Structure 1
Amino acid sequence: MLNTAVLGTGLLALDLIERIQNSPHLRCGLVIGRAAHSTGLRQAAEMGCTTTAGSISALTDSDEVFDIVFDVTNASAHHEHWTQLADTGTTVINLTPANVGALIVPAVNGDQAATHRHISLASCGGQTSIPVLHAIAQHYVPRHVEMVATAATRSVGRASRLNLDEYIETTQAAIQQFTRAATAKTMLNISPASPPPRFRSAMTLVAPGVEAEPVHKLVESAAETMRAFVPGFRVTSCAVADDTIRAAVEVTATRTNMPVHAGNLEVISAAAIYAAEQHALTQTRVAKENAR
């Protein structure tokens, strides 16, 4: 069982803690916040976690060894966090949109997670759209890709709002990396609508020779794969006309303590736990092989 630490105490961090506690492969050794009396740090303590304030310095000053550190802070802080953790031997899973680390999307290249010590999950928009776009791009050569994510105001915290530029740039780069599209464009809408809308991703892909029936099968297959990680993932539309594919997906949060509109948080939390458990499973397999 790998010992983990969580940097951050927002709603996403709290869901991550619950997932860690429910994992047979992980344990939550420490939760670190910025302010000693924050609501999130109090809630983490109520969940039975050891907590402390002081951010990254509290982690590096700890005598405890952590196999994995989840960074659930913000993009600007992550660069400093990685600088301080790079030589410690710990694996860092980056849930911020800082464009550093090996890009891992479980439904696409999850088998590579255990080979990297610094993992980037890009963004919730990237985790939601890339499996669909990548599936299409394996059969058609995209000239241009666009993705517009829509998230409810209530599911976008302060740290995320500070990272909007990084979110756009990192998601765009990730989409290009996984689709090899010549050009890509990403946008994010933060909706104040009431009731809050579920997280959505609308995608447009331009490629020569696209055909409706194969595209529909590719999109549905990608959605089925995603549901293994995120049960509330579904395709809401898929249309093909001329050389253009327009598809949209919606993510309904299904976690007990997660509001239904917070699918953006659920999709990236699920990806983080998947990556961590791949490290744990690999370590277990190596230990068994060495014991023979």
Structure 2
Amino acid sequence: MSKAKVAILGSGNIGTDLMIKVMRNARHLGMGVMVGVDPESDGLARARRLGVATTHEGIDGLTRMPEWQDVKVVFDATSAYAHKRNSEIAIAAGKQVIDLTPAAIGPYTVPVVNLDANLDQRNVNMVTCGGQATIPMVYAVKRVSKAVPYAEIVASISSKSAGPGTRANIDEFTQTTRGAIEQVGGAARGKAIIILNPAEPPLIMRDTVFTLSQGAEPEEIEASVEAMVKEVQSYVPGYRLKQKVQFERIGNNAPLKIPGYGEFTGIKSSIFLEVEGAAHYLPAYSGNLDIMTSAAMATADRWVERTLAA
């Protein structure tokens, strides 16, 4: 099967890292066009050096290029604001859209949790870097439990790995991640927090997941979490537990009060993660970029494998 050509909208950190991943690691994808709006951006310059067609005129410039006809998949790594129009144009032209912004026009998609259920969608949303790292853990708890009334995640990333697009979308990050914790992870209520850490030297991405669950013993939760880590590592090798899962049993003598839910008794699980990047474009501390671009590429590869090989 010949490789499907892709276009990447956004020549910043995420888009450039994704381009390099597609060129090095994709099974069914090939680079078609790198698209930006700043003719002097490093991403466009790097694409040109690698022999990739480029335009600095956004999606309008892309649609005027002869390469547009051969593009099968459009990755959007611009902004939540710009994505609506980008998606409308790409879908009208019959393209598959992989959304790396927090726009969430299409269904939230986390490859190890619900990718197969969304393969018929023309636009799928990759949630956020924090969502890709933590939602598999929420789901790992949920799949062995009767209920997960509450889940909270804290994503801490190096300031140096947060470009202008990430910084402009902080509100969308928290809202999108919270929604996906509930809709994909399976928690009744979710909360998301992002921290931009200015420490020097820069720290590797760290994520903390807290869940309140009922109907499963700690041993079952621990086994499910460890199995899920291995599943995520199939496309993000730098994804790992920092330590063993920590548990606290909440009894009737001291129940927790969850707003909108009531009193909770059961198991509190604390899961501590680290995501080391593959250093394809930025240094290894940029695991937040790596997990987003790796998840997006895995999604597109699977879509092409099923759709275009038929």
TM-score by length of 2: 0.88
Is 1:32 equivalent to 2:35 in the alignment?
yes
Local SS of the residue matching 1:241: strand
Please tell me whether residue 15 in structure 1 is matched to residue 21 in structure 2.
no
Q: Select between 216-225 and 252-261 the one with higher mean Cα deviation.
A: 252-261
Cα offsets for 1:183-219 (capped at 9, x unmatched): 1111000000111111111011112344222121111
User: Which residue does 2:233 correspond to in 1?
Assistant: 227
SS of the aligned residue for 1:270 comes to helix
Letter in 2 for 1:269: T
What's the offset of the Cα at 1:282?
Answer: 1.6
Q: Compare the two structures and name the one with the higher helix fraction.
A: 1
Q: Distance in 2 between matches of 1:283 and 1:86?
A: 16
String of CA shifts for 1:222-262, please: whole Å, max 9, x gaps: 11111111111111131111121111111011234331110
Deviation at 1:88, TM superposition (A): 1.1
SS of 1:194's partner is coil
- For 1:70 and 1:285, how far apart are their aligned partners in 2? 20
Distance 1:44 1:181 in 2: 41
2:298 matched to which residue of 1? Answer: 274
- For the pair 1:260 / 2:292, whether they are aligned, the reply is no
Q: d(CA) in 2 for partners of 1:8 and 1:235?
A: 31
Structure 1 stretches lacking a partner, 5+ long: 287-292
1:66-145 matches, within 5 Å, as 66-140=71-145, 141-145=147-151
Identify the residue that residue 211 of structure 1 maps to in structure 2. Answer: 217
TM-score, structure 1 as length reference: 0.94
Provide structure 2 residue ranges, at least 5 long, that are not aligned to the other structure: 250-266
8 Å CA contact 1:235–1:250 kept in 2: the answer is yes
Residue 27 of structure 1 aligns to a residue whose secondary structure is strand
Q: Any runs of at least 4 consecutive aligned residues in structure 1 with deviations exceeding 3 A, and if so which?
A: 255-258
Following superposition, the deviation at residue 135 of structure 1 comes to: 1.2
Q: Read off the aligned partner of 2:274 and give its amino acid letter.
A: E
Query: What is the Cα deviation at residue 284 of structure 1?
Result: 4.2
Deviates more, 1:81-90 or 1:49-58: 81-90
Which deviates the most, 89-98 or 211-220?
211-220
Aligned-CA RMSD value: 1.4
What is the aligned-residue identity percentage? 31
Give a deviation string over 1:154-187, Cα, whole Å, max 9, x none. Answer: 1100011000000100000001002332211110
Structure 2 residue 246 is matched with structure 1 residue 239: yes
